[in-house]
Chains A and B, each alone.
Chain A
């Protein structure tokens, strides 16, 4: 049926309009579908307050890898984005914040030099201008096509967090499904407050690799947001409908001196 979509969690077929109005959360099992970036912006930001920054930055294929430029173009055409993160400034309940929103639809949200650069720039601007930064993470990890340059983005973004810390400007991370690999092992785990959407897959190594290592089936709930919270790595799990007010509360209680 055309106006139905199957929930990957409970496998029920759900009316798309009802799903949309439920903020893309399955009304049957609460599975949080991936949100498109413009929907996320509408959800979190005061209306018309989001102004994009650095939208034109795009990858230069640093390893000169064959086929990479073509793949980038295909993703750019399909998603209308220049890379896997959109950055900007917005108001959240009238409070100013920088926003970075990663898109899993663009090459699996993989972090290459441009994603790393855009996020680093925003964090430095936040540190400089005393404006808090909110990052929505979604990533399969480092972008292999950019080799060592992708790895270095982990160091670059983490160093920028150090600067934010020193300037006492808050960094809030919202982990969305999925957040893995080099993104988990850098800025995503360095927020002053780390939130997550329910059921999100959050981890470092991929589940298949771990399964291969231990040679047995993974325990239920492994590497979910709930797992991370139980093990002490996530501050709070927030339903999508409560995200805006939670972020608003955090912004209010983290006034930059």
Chain B
């Protein structure tokens, strides 16, 4: 039975988890760095503990301090939120060794999924299509050349232990093979402490589709797909469910294979499988073994509170929700409002309304610092269909007031009005295309 949880995170997700815990009558302990003293999550939690300086490595990534805080405040469990330590097998190990429950999958699962090559092999085993490419490390330029010719250009080199858009290099011809091979290995070693790289076919105009799942070791629930194709430099800006390019047949196919994969993993908790969809082929990319920022979209269409279920699963509590697959209804869309400058928010008025949800940690008078993620708020709507969602979001954005700092609100509005986006005929290159017209404000 989980009675008290420490949330090893900050910002909007920490607020989200506190709210879920309160509704479950579970006590919450929040942590903060010296720069986050006035964070909203600290005000809402039952207790809050300072765990270090504003540098992430001193605070939110400081395993020792976090574990100490959890133990001293007599917590039973730790919720890792998103980013930071949420996919650190080392952290999971230490949490468990300290006698605490980690709200998420076990360290073996995280380790396996963190190795992109292993993940590809497993996905294929589960019946998922994977992007054509290698299933082992590419060790020489000669090997790379052979693979390149088999796959056909363009190809992409990826760090096997990597992620987040780092350590990836696209190659379009034989002449660039050697240089990029060497640079890719250098970068993989630099960022992920391991030079192992593998190669995949590079998709030039894909849609980014991801499947949300909840699994408790007995049942795997399918909460539908999310389309996250509007991205700036691999950072998602707009997400929606369902996707207009996923028909029921594809959805079923993905449902079966994804469920299979999670069963093979004996996955515990919430997880997301990411795919790239191009020309009717849906290719497995990777699994994110944690809750995602854009989870509210799936919560709307499935009517399931993912955070609550995560806690119940890890606490081995009974949950009727897990007994059957949810019916997926209507449409939901989320936009991320990010800060473009730092400073004090002199005015904050969020949009309200029956079909509007705002997940945020900001308030009037809050100081936005430059040390962390720049996301200020997520605005999520739940309506009958895609066009209504877009209209409702546009209305929300005219209502939304954030003064004192610059935000990407205008850029989001531009995207929501973009012809390609509205027609549903866009892909991950949309933002880059639009970027050419976005001026640099002086």
Contacts and interface: CB of A to CB of B under 8 A. Distances in A.
A166 B319 CA distance: 86
Given A2-B164, A21-B340, A14 B179 contact: no
17 contacts: A1-B56, A2-B164, A3-B235, A3-B373, A4-B372, A13-B56, A15-B342, A15-B372, A17-B340, A17-B374, A18-B370, A18-B374, A21-B341, A28-B370, A43-B442, A77-B176, A244-B442
A4 B56 contact: yes
Contacts of B339: 15, 17-18
Given A74-B179, A77-B180, A18 B56 contact: no
Given A14-B370, A39-B440, A73-B179, 10 more contacts: A1-B56, A1-B373, A3-B373, A4-B372, A17-B235, A18-B340, A18-B341, A22-B341, A27-B370, A241-B442
Interface in B364-391: 370-374
A39 B373 CA distance: 22
B165 A2 contact: yes
B256 interface: no
Interface string B14-55: 000000000000000000000000000000000000000011
A228 B342 CA distance: 31
The range of chain B's interface size is 20 to 34
Contacts of A47: 439
Interface string A118-155: 00000000000000000000000000000000000000
Contacts of B180: 77
Nearest to A21: B340
Interface string B167-204: 00000000010011001000000000000000000000
Interface of A: 1-4, 11-15, 17-19, 21-23, 26-28, 39, 42-43, 47, 73-74, 77-78, 241, 244-245
Nearest to B441: A21
Nearest to B165: A2
Nearest to B176: A77
Main secondary structure of the interface of B (DSSP, over half): loop
B166 interface: yes
The 9 A-B residue pairs whose C-beta atoms are closest, nearest first, are: A21-B340, A2-B164, A77-B179, A18-B370, A27-B370, A15-B374, A14-B370, A17-B374, A42-B440
Contact of A12 (B55, B166, B341, B441): B55
Residue of A43, A77, A245 with most chain B CB atoms under a 10 A cut-off? A77
A166 B55 CA distance: 55
B83 interface: yes
B82 to A, nearest CB: 12
Contact of A15 (B61, B165, B166, B373): B373
Contact of A43 (B61, B84, B341, B440): B440
A13 B179 CA distance: 30
B338 interface: yes
Contacts of A14: 370-371
Contacts of A3: 235, 373-374
Contacts of A17: 235, 338-340, 374
Contact of A78 (B54, B183, B370): B183
B165 to A, nearest CB: 7
B398 interface: no
B252 interface: no
